[in-house]
Amino acid sequence: MDFMETKIRKIDKNQIEQKIIEEAGEVLREGGLVAFPTETVYGLGADALQEEAARKTYEAKGRPSDNPLIVHIADYEDLKKIAVNIPAETDILAAHFWPGPLTMIFEKSDVVPYGTTGGLDTVAVRMPVDPVAQALIRAAGGFVSAPSANTSGRPSPTTAQHVEEDLAGKIDMIIDGGTVDIGLESTILDMTVTPPMILRPGAVTAEMFEEVIGPVSIDETLLGDESEKAPKAPGMKYRHYAPKAKLMIVEGDLREEILAIRQLTYAAHRENRKVGVIATNETLPFYNYGIVKNIGTRENEKTIAHGLYRVLREFDEEDVEEIYSESFAAQGIGKAIMNRLEKAAGHLRIPASVIIAKQKYRTVTFVSRTDSARGPMAAEMLRQYDLKQEYVINSRGIIVLFPEPANQKAEAIMKSAQMTLENHISRQFDEDNIQDDTLVLAIEESQKEKLLSEYGENGNIYTLNEFIEDDTEIPDPYGKPLAAYGECYEILSGLVAKLADKLDSLAEEEK
Ligand code: AMP
Ligand code: MG
């Protein structure tokens, strides 16, 4: 294909410059290609009634030509010119959802070339709400085919820059109207069957249709992932929206998903593998490793729909090998989100529970009398190890009347070993420290007994000596000169080394 100069024209939706619209309309009437914003994603516009324009569309996108295009109209009366046998419910559906992110499929009239419909006798029609799109459609003569303006197989474009990345040099013009509103392609509803059938989920949901015309059906190939049947919308069979990295959806309840992704990213970090995480506003702070991207907020799933393709494109710029994604609710627009995410993942899913079952302890809590010397020293020593699994390592005291910094002699000894307790503040042990995945290690037997009498046998409570099966006594340096702290340090450091080995050997067994 020859390289052509792609004109880029910025346009303000609230103050549309008619000259640009006329220029673009003329390009379309002459059979050229113009990318333009719609509320769903950017579309690659062509005159839907010219067979040759459809051919160019397929060529520019690298799209298989059996994958039909959606014809965009701006005025409802125009539907009758391209569709025949339009069922009665169409009026009420249009009244509710047009203009908007809904595509309806009808029997086509003779004016629509087979090039546009991918050889089918049906035509897909949508009336977009975006004012730039509407003005352009009218300027082009009323019928503009517009698949997503991306290279086939890449995430759909939600900004003009995305279009430029994929199609600069291959199309005549890009109208830059800023970021789109929804960010996922339209819902496709097949009106040639009774009741109408959803072929592709989108922002207009099954629940919304039901309120207007009663229950609709859903193409069963959308529901199962292993379906052998071809989907009814030809485009749904292609592995769309594929990021370069292997994308995997981690499934469980949100807490399990976070734990599993933490484990997966920690393992990747240790093996020097670059990986990515698709996280949300709410979960972002939980991830310490990998390239973590915020897709939106769980409080408003529309933001997640809007962020999905942007995040997938951003990951294509990072050379990550694998991307782990949290999953999202499968109701409302969540259905459309999961449908696109699963396609991008090629239906690769990981059950979170299977991953998290591989790690018994996630937190190690050292317990000493006042949490000011031996406990915090042991915790800081353990933090120095590059352990096979990730642990939250902390310390608590049996009697902590008020929060205090670490003992000064303990700090002096740690400093001489290139460590520090300067961020340590002593804290009282409480019931929150008793968890299935928390290993509680008391410095002295009496402290263990105290915890057992208070919290019973539920927790994983041991003395450090007992857990590593080494009975070297840990001396109490309290009130003694600095040398006593030094001696205590030496002993603790030997025991913590054994603890690190023990934790790593547990990690091996659990694999
Ligand atoms: P896009 O424009 O990239 O959102 O893709 C349009 C999609 O609409 C195609 O991939 C098809 O899956 C679907 N579609 C278009 N026309 C028809 C039709 N006549 N019958 C069924 N599905 C259609
Ligand atoms: Mg597309």
Please write the tens of the pLDDT for every residue from 385-394: 999 999 999 9
- Kindly give the distance from the C-alpha atom of residue 188 to the centroid of ligand 1, in angstroms, as a whole number: 8
Ligand nearest to the CA of 43: 1
- Per residue in 21-48, pLDDT tens? 999 999 999 999 999 999 999 999 999 9
Q: Is the CB of 231 under 6 A from ligand 1?
A: no
Q: How confident is the model at residue 62 (pLDDT cuts 50, 70, 90)?
A: very high
Ligand nearest to the CA of 68: 1
Q: What is the DSSP string of 268-314?
A: HHHTT--EEEEE-TTTGGG--SSEEEE---TT-HHHHHHHHHHHHHH
| CA dist., res. 82 & res. 54, Å (int) | 16
- Per residue in 439-480, pLDDT tens? 999 999 999 999 999 998 878 999 999 999 999 999 999 999
Give me the pLDDT at residue 225, please.
56
Residue nearest atom 13 in ligand 1 by C-alpha distance = 233
Q: How confident is the model at residue 227 (pLDDT cuts 50, 70, 90)?
A: low
Give me the pLDDT at residue 243, please.
86
User: What are the beta bridge partners of residue 248?
Assistant: 324
The two tokens of residue 338 are 């999961």
Task: Report the nearest atom of ligand 1 relative to the CA of 63.
Answer: 3
Ligand nearest to the CA of 69: 1
Instruction: Show the CA angle centred on residue 422, arms to residues 416 and 424, nearest 5°.
Output: 125
Mean pLDDT of 163-172: 97
SS3 175: strand
Q: How confident is the model at residue 511 (pLDDT cuts 50, 70, 90)?
A: low
- Kindly give the distance from the C-alpha atom of residue 69 to the centroid of ligand 2, in angstroms, as a whole number: 9
Q: Which span out of 133-137, 333-337, 507-511 was modeled with the highest average pLDDT?
A: 133-137
Best residue among 33, 199, 219, 239 to mutate for probing ligand 1's pocket (most ligand atoms within 8 Å of CB) is 199
| CA dist., res. 156 & res. 308, Å (int) | 10
Mean pLDDT of 181-202: 97
Give me the pLDDT at residue 64, please.
82
The two tokens of residue 65 are 């030509």
Q: Is the CB of 68 under 6 A from ligand 1?
A: yes
| CA dist., res. 97 & res. 203, Å (int) | 10
Mean pLDDT of 3-10: 94
270 pLDDT more than 70: yes
Q: Where are the alpha helices (DSSP H) in 373-481?
A: 374-383, 408-416, 445-455, 464-468
Percent of all residues in the chain with a pLDDT value above 90, rounded to a whole number:
89
63 pLDDT more than 90: no
Best residue among 70, 309, 343 to mutate for probing ligand 1's pocket (most ligand atoms within 8 Å of CB) is 70
The two tokens of residue 5 are 């100069």
Q: Where are the alpha helices (DSSP H) in 102-189?
A: 114-117, 131-139, 160-167
- First-to-last C-alpha distance (Å) of the chain: 52
HSE, side-chain direction, 13 A CA sphere, residue 247: 27
Q: How confident is the model at residue 220 (pLDDT cuts 50, 70, 90)?
A: confident
- Kindly give the distance from the C-alpha atom of residue 360 to the centroid of ligand 2, in angstroms, as a whole number: 44
Q: Is the CB of 188 under 6 A from ligand 1?
A: yes
Task: Report the nearest atom of ligand 1 relative to the CA of 123.
Answer: 19
Q: How confident is the model at residue 93 (pLDDT cuts 50, 70, 90)?
A: very high
Q: Is the CB of 48 under 6 A from ligand 1?
A: no
Give me the pLDDT at residue 16, please.
95
Closest CA to 143 of 124, 160, 162, 167: 124
Answer yes or no: pTM beyond 0.75. yes
Q: How confident is the model at residue 169 (pLDDT cuts 50, 70, 90)?
A: very high
- Per residue in 377-416, pLDDT tens? 999 999 999 999 999 999 999 999 999 999 999 999 999 9
- Count of residues for the chain? 511
Ligand nearest to the CA of 154: 2
Mean pLDDT of 257-285: 97
80 pLDDT more than 70: yes
SS3 105: strand
228 pLDDT more than 70: no
- What are the two backbone dihedrals, phi and then psi, of residue 461, each rounded to the nearest 5 degrees? -105, 120
Q: Is the CB of 70 under 6 A from ligand 1?
A: yes
Mean pLDDT of 298-306: 96
- Kindly give the distance from the C-alpha atom of residue 219 to the centroid of ligand 1, in angstroms, as a whole number: 14
223 pLDDT more than 70: no
The two tokens of residue 322 are 């694998």
Residue nearest atom 2 in ligand 1 by C-alpha distance = 147
Q: What is the dihedral of CA 52, 56, 57, 63, to 10 degrees?
A: 110
SS3 59: helix
Weakest mean pLDDT among 28-42, 111-125, 332-346, 381-395? 332-346
Q: Is the CB of 120 under 6 A from ligand 1?
A: yes
Helix 89-97 to helix 206-213 angle, to the nearest 10 degrees?
Answer: 130
Q: Is the CB of 11 under 6 A from ligand 1?
A: no
Q: Is 353 exposed, middle or buried (0-12, 13-18, 19+ CB in 10 A)?
A: middle
Give me the pLDDT at residue 156, please.
93
Q: Is the CB of 43 under 6 A from ligand 1?
A: no
**pLDDT mean across residues, the chain:** 94
Best residue among 67, 108, 163 to mutate for probing ligand 1's pocket (most ligand atoms within 8 Å of CB) is 67
- Kindly give the distance from the C-alpha atom of residue 48 to the centroid of ligand 2, in angstroms, as a whole number: 16
| CA dist., res. 17 & res. 11, Å (int) | 7
Q: Are 191 and 173 in contact (CB under 8 A)?
A: no
469 contact partners, CB below 8 Å, separation of at least 6 = none
Ligand nearest to the CA of 101: 1
The two tokens of residue 97 are 């959802």
Ligand nearest to the CA of 156: 2
H or E, element range at 26: helix 18-29
Give me the pLDDT at residue 187, please.
98
Q: Is the CB of 198 under 6 A from ligand 1?
A: no
Q: How confident is the model at residue 65 (pLDDT cuts 50, 70, 90)?
A: confident
Sheet holding 349-351, edge to edge: 291-294, 275-279, 322-325, 246-251, 349-351
Give me the pLDDT at residue 238, please.
60
Q: Is the CB of 203 under 6 A from ligand 1?
A: no
Residue nearest atom 23 in ligand 1 by C-alpha distance = 233
- Integer-rounded Cα radius of gyration of the chain: 31
Q: How confident is the model at residue 371 (pLDDT cuts 50, 70, 90)?
A: very high
Give me the pLDDT at residue 308, please.
96
| CA dist., res. 321 & res. 313, Å (int) | 14
Q: Is the CB of 28 under 6 A from ligand 1?
A: no
Percent of all residues in the chain with a pLDDT value above 70, rounded to a whole number:
97
Q: Are 28 and 46 in contact (CB under 8 A)?
A: yes
Give me the pLDDT at residue 232, please.
76
Weakest mean pLDDT among 106-120, 290-304, 365-379, 497-511? 497-511
Q: Is the CB of 380 under 6 A from ligand 1?
A: no
Task: Report the nearest atom of ligand 1 relative to the CA of 156.
Answer: 3
Q: Is the CB of 278 under 6 A from ligand 1?
A: no
